[in-house]
Structure 1
């Protein structure tokens, strides 16, 4: 029973809440929050993950893509 907007209907929200409470073993007064801290005292945080893990992998993958595109273009122009 989805409504034509981005928000689920009242009955769908109740079904989703029931399934989450059943899955995680919580009740209506309990809640769980998951996230990544932006700054941490142990220096393992979202900024470090972005700088040392995400950016190098994006740089490597896009470099390979550009290199492949240049090689394909050279090959097609030579034909």
Structure 2
């Protein structure tokens, strides 16, 4: 069994990925792909949704309550009649 694996890792010409120059470039490309994949998923998560819908509703409500307090109006909690 050791003879089988020895050929693969010692640069057997029949196996294309064992060329010493290709090993380095393959490792670099693998690392670059992993870094890009991790960064894009992180960036998509961080940059796409700053607020969820509940946060936006609370900000909207806060804005209108603040304006009503500035005008010294009474704040109604239900539908206006």
Question: Normalization by structure 1: what TM-score?
Answer: 0.37
State which structure, 1 or 2, has the greater radius of gyration over its C-alpha atoms.
2
